Amino acid sequence: MTIEPLLQVDHLQMRFKNPKNRRNTVHAVDDVSFTVAPGEIVGVVGESGSGKSTIGRCILGLETPSDGDIHFDGSDLGAHSKLRNRRDLASRLQVVFQDPYSSLNPFRTIGQTLAEPLQALSRVSDAQADARVRDMLEAVGLPREAADRYPSQFSGGQRQRIGIARALIMEPKLVICDEAVSALDLSTQAQILNLLSKLAADRGLAYIFIAHDLDVVRYISDRTLVLYRGRVMEQGASADVYSRPLHPYTAALHAAAPVTDPVEQRARRTARAKIVRPAPEIGPTTGHAGCPFAARCAFAQEVCTTDRPADTPVGERSVACHMYNATSGHTRQGAGMSGVELAVT
């Protein structure tokens, strides 16, 4: 018997009309399914424009999906959701944004910003709200007096702590962290990652951790979803996805992230050349059929440009690549791409 997931996303679709060309729609999210268990941290990695943020915004209700189902903690939030009032969700589902500068209203003190949802949703007195705000600030490593100050008086890292405090003050079950550490310096990023891990462990929080940095996602998340052009390329336990990438795109991402050991970095560079074609991509492929990575994949064959790869289970993982599907017609059989070495037979 499995635990009931906290969040279940099924066949989520999000299409945006291109304002310049009506017939050309952008498939920001294309048939994405995944679940998040209570207390689980699910990482979503992918390059910019791969649809990571849009998935988060659909779950939060900031966008209405074109199609698909979203079930969160007993509520239906999908494309056909009848839920008009998401107010009662606010205490269970929260968000931390990337930009520590635009995510705080410059005209309101930190205390006012943090107390606002408390006072709107639960009837607490001013004094109670104030006490909870200051407790929360302390929990994220800021002085209690921070409540009396304005956003402009804080650094980027401190603002991100405030953003986390705002998300956690309602004691949510799931927090969507959309590039929550991407804008921060290395040393600040480490501080915030430690804070997020500690809060998750202490409070039993689940996160959807959206980032473009594979290392960050590997470090913080239990499971990882690798996204490319709106589609899930591979998903599975973070440790596996990182140590033994199955999908060529995951392997390419892995080989492209530079490491600080100059010798190992040279080895990675060699490995990358074997996975990604040397010629850079010519532009966004608009075709919907086929594998979105085909234009850059060193293993692409005819079938990759005509048929869309199905999500194929490989052990505990799911991979959308013809090489892992015996009936696809691809002549190679993928056997995983461990770290820098390719093991394609």
Partner 1 sequence: MTRARRSDNALTRLVRRPGAVVALVFLALLTFAVIFADVVAPIDPLTQDLARARELPSAAHWLGTDGFGRDIYSRLIHGGGSTLGGALLAAVVAMTIGIPLGMLGGYFRGWVDTVVSRFADVFQALPTIVILMAVIGAFGNNNTVAMVALGVAMCEGFIRLARAMTLQVRRELYVDAASVAGITSGSILVRHVFPNIRGPLLVQLSITAGAALLIQAGLGFLGLGTPPPAPSWGGMIDEASDLIYLHPWLLVPTGAIMILSILSFNVLGDALASDRPGGVLAGVRLPWMKPLPVAEQPVAMSELVPADPKAVVSVRDLTVSFTDRNSTFAVVQNVSFDVMPGEALGIVGESGCGKSVTAKALLGLIAPGGKITGGQVTINGTDVVGLSNRELRKVRGTTIALVSQEPMVALDPTFTIGAQLRESIAHHTGRKGRELNDRALELLRLVGMPDPAQAAASYTFQVSGGMAQRAAIALALTGEPDVLVADEPTTALDVTVQAEILDLLRSLRKDLGLAVIIVTHDLGVIADLCDRAVVMYAGQVIEQGAVDTLLTTPTHPYTRALLASMPSHAIPGLPLDAIPGAVPAPRDWPEGCRFAPRCAFATDACRSAPVPILAQHGGLSRCIRVDEVLAQSRNRTEERNIA
Contact footprint for ligand SF4 (CB under 6 A)? 248, 291, 293-294, 297, 299-300, 304, 309, 321-323
How far is 40 from 201, CA to CA, in rounded Å?
A: 10
Least distance (Å) between residue 110 CB and partner 1: 8
- Out of ligand ATP, Mg ion, ligand SF4, none, which partner does residue 291 contact, by CB within 5 to 8 A per kind? ligand SF4
Sheet bearing 41-45, strands edge to edge? 93-96, 174-178, 206-211, 41-45, 223-228, 231-237, 317-319, 312-314
Beta strands 312-314 and 317-319, pairing class:
antiparallel
DSSP percent split of the chain into helix, strand, coil, nearest 5: 35, 20, 45
What is the separation, in whole angstroms, between the first and last Cα of the chain? 37
224 binds ligand ATP (CB under 6 A): no
Candidates 45-53, 85-93, 120-128, 167-175; binding stretch for ligand ATP (CB under 6 A): 45-53
HEC string of 169-231 equals CCCCCEEEEECCCCCCCHHHHHHHHHHHHHHHHHHCCEEEEEECCHHHHHHHCCEEEEEECCE
- Out of Mg ion, ligand ATP, ligand SF4, none, which partner does residue 26 contact, by CB within 5 to 8 A per kind? ligand ATP
Least distance (Å) between residue 90 CB and partner 1: 3
Residue 204's φ and ψ, nearest 5 degrees, are 65, 35
Among 54, 103, 224, 312, binds partner 1 (CB under 8 A): 103
284 binds partner 1 (CB under 8 A): yes
- Out of Mg ion, ligand ATP, ligand SF4, none, which partner does residue 248 contact, by CB within 5 to 8 A per kind? ligand SF4
Among 5, 39, 49, 141, binds ligand ATP (CB under 6 A): 49
Taking the mean position of all CA atoms in its chain, how far away is CA 315? 23
Comparing CB distances to partner 1, the nearer of 139 and 216 is 216
- Within residues 323-342, the interface with partner 1 by CB under 8 A covers none
Binding site for Mg ion (CB under 5 A): 53
